[in-house]
Amino acid sequence: MVKPGDTLTRIGLETGQGWRDIARWNNLENPNLIEVGQVLRVVPPSGEPQVSPVRPTRIETRPIEARPLEAGKPGAAPGAATAAAAAPAATGKPPAAEPAREVPREADEGGLRWSWPAGGSVLTAFDEKLSKGIAIAGKAGDPVVAAADGQVVYVGSGVRGYGNLIIVKHGGNFLTAYAHNQTFLVKEDQTVKRGQKIAEMGSSDTDRVKLHFEVRRQGKPVDPAKYLPAR
């Protein structure tokens, strides 16, 4: 049921679904027109798979170079957002280089693997009632990378308190949220790989430069420390 202040994006974040799927399941011609008290379907109709079909883009057909680029090497300078979206962070300390860890057996996601989304220290630990995620320190422009393979289901600033936000869906059970970004490097519906640079860290809608990172299992916030590699 729609509550005051709800948007389809926030409802999707809280239910573990993409906002486009919710709009389709409810035949919403204008996803911005929802009313308080309105009841929306947040699970697919019978017979429709949980995971949205992936629409590959031409850029994903090219092999991804996992080795960091050398300073001064042609192509190492930041390019347009659409070009940068397909490559891991080329500068700084790549979070993706850390060892990955399997998802716990009870959360079977077909071998889903995790890495830290940013290289800084943890400023704020997980609290389900307050933070709903963790805050990671950094400087403006530091790389933000996908914590696991998935599909981008939201890119925008329409959720109050999150600033410039990216939401990635991983299989049928997990979403990750990356908030307060300075720059977006991916688009909605794009598939991403673990360790791929998806944004640059910023301070949008917050008091300092940081990444607010959430892991949600079936819409419920869970402690990212249960999935991310030990440091």
- pLDDT tens-digit map of 55-65: 433 334 344 44
Residue 57 resides in a domain = no
CA nearest neighbour of 119 among 99, 102, 98, 140: 98
Torsion region of 116: left, alpha or beta (phi above 0 gives left; psi -120 to 50 gives alpha): beta
- pLDDT at site 65: 45
In a domain, 190, yes or no: yes
Same domain, residue pair 104 and 39: no
If asked whether residues 87 and 14 sit together in one domain, one would say: no
Is 30 within the bounds of a domain? Answer: yes
* pTM flag (> 0.75): no
Same domain? 224 vs 117: yes
Query: In this structure, what CATH number is given to the domain that contains residue 185?
Result: 2.70.70.10
pLDDT bin (cut points 50, 70, 90) of residue 50 is low
CATH code at 36?
3.10.350.10
Q: Are residues 114 and 203 in the same domain?
A: yes
Domain count, the chain: 2
Q: Are residues 223 and 139 in the same domain?
A: yes
Residues counted in the chain: 231
Q: How confident is the model at residue 44, as a pLDDT?
A: 87
Q: How far apart are CA 219 and CA 180, in angstroms?
A: 20
Q: What is the mean pLDDT of the chain?
A: 79
Separation CA 76–CA 89 (nearest Å): 10
Range of the domain at 8: 1-44
Same domain? 99 vs 17: no
What pLDDT band is residue 216 in, cutting at 50, 70 and 90? very high
34 and 142 housed in the same domain: no
Task: With cut-offs at 50, 70 and 90, classify the pLDDT of residue 113.
Answer: very high
